[in-house]
Amino acid sequence: MREFQINKLGVAKNVDVEKATEDLGDPQKIVLLTAEGPLAAIVANYLASKYPDLVVIREPAETKSQIIKRRLRLLGPVRTIGQVAGSLAARIVGKLSDSRISEICGTHGLDRSVASSISVFPVGSVNSEDTRGMLVALQPSVVLVYGTRIIGRRTLHSIPAPFINYHAGINPKYRGQHPAYWALVSNDLEHAGITVHVIDEGVDTGAVLYQANVRFTKTDNITTYPYVQLGVALPFLVQAIDDVLAGRMRPRAVDLPNRLWFPPTIWQYLWNGIFKRVW
C-alpha cells in the first residue's frame, strides 16, 4: 500500500503533496474520499479493479465520543442514550451475522481488506487543508465519496470536479442513517434501496444519478443490510463515473417525501424486532 509520508499524528503533510503527485505519475482521473472500515475497503477494491489509477484519500473513523457529542447537540440526552443502547443491541445481533456477511461478500465478490496495490493517503479529515491540497494537486475528473463525515463547503468547492456519493437508501425519502432498516420498518419495500447522487451542501440532498430497489432475506438485519446494498450499488457507481468521464452525467430531482432518519433507540429497535420482525 503506497502512502504519503505521515507525521506523528498519522496525517499527510502538506509539504509532501507535490512530491506525492509526481511519484504517482500522470494527474489522476478518479479519487475516492472515504473513512476506515470494511465497507469502505470493499468500495476501494471494486473501483480499483475498474480504474487501476484510483487514489484513495482516507480519514479515520469518528470516535464514539465524537458521535455521542454530536448527537447530544442535535437530539438531546434521552434520544442519545437510547441510540447508544440501541447500537449496542444491534452489535450483539451483528455478532451472530458473520456467516451471512461472508455469504454476501462471496456472492458479490467483495473484499473487506484494502489491496496493497491501491494508493491510500491518510488525512485527519476530509475537510482538512491536507485533503483540499491533495485534491487541487491531483485535479481529478470525479471524486467518489463513501462513509465520510459531512463534506464542507470549502472542500466541495476546492476543485471543479463533481463529488458523487453512494447512499444506502432511496433519497430523499430515506436520507440519513440506516435507511434500509427504516424502509423495512415502514413496510415500504418499494423504497428499500440505494442512491448514487451528486453531493451538495445538505445531507443526502443532492440531485440523483441512479437509484435501485434492493431485496433482503429474512436472515438479514441492520448489520447485513449495508453489505447487500453495496453489492447492488457498486455497478451503479462505476456507471456514474463513466458518465462523468464521457460528459453524459444527467442529475435529476426525485419527487418523494423528504425526511432525515437517525439510528433507532433501544426501545425502537426492540419494538420493531419483536413486533415487526425487523432487526
Domain residue limits, the chain:
14-276
Q: What is the DSSP string of 87-129?
A: HHHHHHHHHTTHHHHHHHHHHHT--SS--TTSEEEE-S-TTSH
Closest listed residue to residue 184, CA positions, set 232, 224, 150, 148 = 224
Residue 12: predicted pLDDT: 41
**DSSP 3-state of 179:** helix
Residue 269 or 65, more confident: 269
Q: What is the mean pLDDT of the chain?
A: 88
**DSSP 3-state of 271:** helix
The three cell numbers of residue 38 are: 470494511
Checking if the pLDDT of 41 tops 90, the result is yes
Residue 79: predicted pLDDT: 84
Residue 15: predicted pLDDT: 34
Task: Name the CA radius of gyration of the chain, rounded.
Answer: 19
Confidence label for 252 from pLDDT (cuts 50, 70 and 90) = very high
Cα–Cα distance measured from residue 84 to residue 62, given in angstroms and rounded to the nearest whole number: 14
Residue with cell 448527537: 71
CATH architecture of 14-276: 3-Layer(aba) Sandwich (3.40)
Confidence label for 20 from pLDDT (cuts 50, 70 and 90) = very low
> What's phi and psi for 29, nearest 5 deg?
-85, -35
Cα–Cα distance measured from residue 3 to residue 58, given in angstroms and rounded to the nearest whole number: 10
